[in-house]
Amino acid sequence: ITVVTWNVGTAVPPSDVTSLLHLNTGETNDVDMIAIGLQEVNSKINKRLKDALFTDQWSELFMDVLSPFHFILVSTVRMQGVILMVFAKYYHLPFLQDIQTDCTRTGLGGYWGNKGGVSVRLSIFGHMVCFLNCHLPAHLEKAEQRKEDFATILHMQQFEGPVASGILDHDLVFWFGDLNFRIESLDICFVKYAIDSNVLSQLWEKDQLNIAKSTWPVLRGFQEGPLNFPPTFKFDVGTNKYDSSAKKRKPAWTDRILWKIKPPSKGWGAGGHRPSQGVLSVSQLCYCSHMEYTISDHKPVAAIFAVQFASKVDKPQVEIYVADEWSRPEQAVVRYKMAVGFHRSSWDWIGLYRVGFRHPKDYVSYVWARSDDGVSGLQVMFSEEALPKGNGEYILGYYSNTSSSIAGVTEPFQISLPRSEEGSSSTDSSGSSSEEDDSTLVLLAPKSRSPSPGKMKRHRSRSPSLAKFQGLILRPSSRDRGTSRSPSPQSRCSLPRNIPTIHLPQEELGHHGVKGKELGQAAESLEGSSFHQTVQEQGGLRRVSADSPLARADPRNLGLLPALRLEMLDQALGQRRESADQGYYPCWKMSPTSPPGCGTSPKEGRNP
């Protein structure tokens, strides 16, 4: 099991994390699971809104990097900037059950999630294991507060089920994160001298966490490997130099990885369940920091553990049988058998995955599992339309809705079906030809993560619908008028040229103005087929050219581009106010703070 902790300091993910995950060494072949804990992930409101709709950048990065090594995202949990992800090799998925997550806020007295802990607990081959990622209070003098917050997290986090309801009830607990423990008593000059001289042992006895492990009852039983790497905080961003700012914070081992083995108990446990038999042993094979990553003021820390269980549950809850190759659609038959006592649901399904899939819902296609009364001899068949065309290796997995996990998988098998050339061209051409401008709202939708029976007929927009603000003109910002990063067709074509001309009444426009409501109704009533339109209001007609800002206020003429600048009409017309006073352009008062001299008298001016 590999455990990684990193306070990323709101930075953008780096392009390469292979060395952090030890993917460039021979150790990767022996690693079965990887737990990654992050702190201070960018959680500003705009990022949180985007991450709530789509997977965050960090999770996407780790899934992309780990999927070629057959690691699948088993579970993830996020609390503002604190994220925990647990990955495992795909063939271990049927033996990872009872997966639950929890989070505890400790910031601002428990109301804010910038500090606290998130956890993922699961049964691994029949043994209860919990991963706990924490971000505790900072600063040297807050040691007691860190103890209280950790005790609160242990007390608040409770899981369902009779076995291992609390964190310390698990057979094995991994506790890691930005624990923020500092080095006491020693001044910064001596600390830096010890680091430069590589005599780190002189700093260990003054480390607050080392002191607390022997004095705090809440930390009794937690173990940690030797700190043979330099303190991981605080660095100048982009360098390997310790803090050179005016604050000059003292270096410290803030980022730590610890573990605790539950002491063996005698007799029967809670709920009538016998505790784990035998002795559980944990050996730490590696404990190091990674100085090559400089995007944050913290250095990431990784540890590799060898966990020896006394027993192992090696029979999956669902066994799936399939042919070695599907070369014809009628061969796509799946037979499966459920173990006695397996809690199946009518919402269970069997997914077809491409080798290298990223998470349990990253399927190519699926079929609903039958819920017959019998537990043996069940079979389902994939339709020809649901099968992927071409050659490739695939895996079948039985997804249990009750446990929210995969209860059975197959070995990789081959699918060799002729490619269908029909429909691809029509699919590519459809969507590019649209009579309405709302095609600019259609962006690339993410892959569905829930097994809906059919494909969505229309992609959901990734951008919220634009409100029809009266008196606003939307233009692309000057720096983004060049290359567009939007995949919408509108970004690759110019705006329509047949903008309709708007006729406005000339009488008393310079004195009374046009009501905003009537202006909005007039803009919405324009028909695209007619080149000239009129708006009548108690008098004559005024012709406004199609190039005027007022004509561009038609919502149908607004191009949805990656970056927009909003302007009030009175600002857009500000350069023409002098000519408006002479009668060339109509002018109206848009807000109580509009500058004087815009064609309205104090007695006659009206605000929309």
pLDDT tops 80 at residue 244: yes
Token digits of residue 268: 């029967």
335 and 282, same domain (yes or no)? no
186 and 293, same domain (yes or no)? yes
**CB 330 within 8 Å of CB 343:** no
Band (491; pLDDT cuts 50, 70, 90): very low
Q: Is residue 46 part of a domain?
A: yes
d(CA 410, CA 456): 29
Could you give the count of Cα atoms lying within 13 Å of 298 in the half-sphere of its Cβ?
25
pLDDT tops 60 at residue 272: no
User: What per-residue confidence (pLDDT) applies to 439?
Assistant: 32
Q: Is residue 491 part of a domain?
A: no
Orientation angle between helical segments 143-156 and 208-215, nearest 10 degrees = 60
Band (121; pLDDT cuts 50, 70, 90): very high
d(CA 367, CA 217): 52
Q: Is residue 104 part of a domain?
A: yes
285 and 338, same domain (yes or no)? no
Band (398; pLDDT cuts 50, 70, 90): very high
pLDDT tops 50 at residue 423: no
User: What per-residue confidence (pLDDT) applies to 542?
Assistant: 46
348 and 283, same domain (yes or no)? no
Angle at 508 between CA 506 and CA 509, to 5 degrees: 65
179 and 221, same domain (yes or no)? yes
Q: How many domains does the chain have?
A: 2
Band (278; pLDDT cuts 50, 70, 90): low
CATH of the domain at 364: 2.60.40.2840
Q: Is residue 148 part of a domain?
A: yes
Angle at 543 between CA 542 and CA 545, to 5 degrees: 145
14 and 88, same domain (yes or no)? yes
Least confident span in 250-254, 473-477, 565-569: 473-477
Between 366 and 487, where is the model more confident? 366
DSSP one-letter code for 91: G
Amino acid letter for position 177: G
Q: Is residue 389 part of a domain?
A: yes
Print the domain residue range for 181. 2-266+277-308
CATH of the domain at 171: 3.60.10.10
User: What per-residue confidence (pLDDT) applies to 370?
Assistant: 80
Partners of 350 in the beta sheet?
367, 398
251 and 347, same domain (yes or no)? no
Q: Is residue 520 part of a domain?
A: no
pTM: 0.69
Between 536 and 368, where is the model more confident? 368
Mean pLDDT of 140-144: 95
**CB 224 within 8 Å of CB 256:** yes
**CB 154 within 8 Å of CB 166:** yes
Band (108; pLDDT cuts 50, 70, 90): confident
Least confident span in 3-12, 89-98, 239-248, 554-563: 554-563
Q: Rank 18-32, 352-366, 532-546, 569-583 by mean pLDDT and report only the highest.
A: 352-366
CA distances from 603 to 372, 585, 590, 597, 599 (A): 81, 21, 15, 14, 12
229 and 291, same domain (yes or no)? yes
63 and 155, same domain (yes or no)? yes
CA distances from 153 to 102, 129, 133, 149 (A): 10, 17, 11, 6
Domain closes at, from 357, 389, 417? 417
User: What per-residue confidence (pLDDT) applies to 421?
Assistant: 59
pLDDT tens digits for 331-370? 999 999 999 989 999 999 999 999 999 999 999 999 999 8
How many Cβ atoms are within 10 Å of 514's Cβ, its own excluded? 19
Domain closes at, from 355, 386, 417? 417
Q: Is residue 30 part of a domain?
A: yes
Q: Is residue 479 part of a domain?
A: no
57 and 181, same domain (yes or no)? yes
d(CA 451, CA 364): 11
The DSSP result for 320-350, as a single string, is: EE--SEE-SGGG-EEEEEEPTT----TT-EE
pLDDT tops 80 at residue 539: no
d(CA 146, CA 310): 35
255 and 301, same domain (yes or no)? yes
Partners of 116 in the beta sheet?
105, 135
234 and 354, same domain (yes or no)? no
